[in-house]
Amino acid sequence: MASHYRDSRIPIVFSGSPGADDVILVEGDLPTPDIGTIVRIGSTSHSLRTICCACCSPRGMLENAFMRLFLDRARGGMPYFQRVLVIGSVSFEGVVRSVVSVDIVVRSRYRLSESAKICSR
């Protein structure tokens, strides 16, 4: 019997054209497209958690942003989005990738797209 698994987590992409049903996660003051829902993130250099249990470790700015996006989407507090498009530097991409792979709650709701290349400006 064939397995028909569909990954329903929200994809995070690092390249491509933004769409009206995208959230655009932008590092700092970089220019933004005129379409989609824009979310700006400041410095994330210290966003990654230290080694300890999830209940004792505070979440960083990026982790909290992903949590708020998911909850706002689920509660109807923002337009329903299909994916998150990341615009930022190579180091910002690295932090986003690390957050998704390390934070179990973020990883349960989001996934890195297989065509994940940086979309820097």
- DSSP state letters, 8-74: -SEEEESSS---TTEEEEEETT----SSSEEEEE---TT-SPPSS-TTTS---HHHHHHHHHHHHHH
Whole-prediction pTM: 0.79
pLDDT in tens, 37-74: 999 998 655 445 555 555 556 778 899 999 999 999 99
- For the chain, domain boundaries: 10-112
Q: How far apart are CA 51 and CA 57, in angstroms?
A: 8
Amino acid present at 103: D
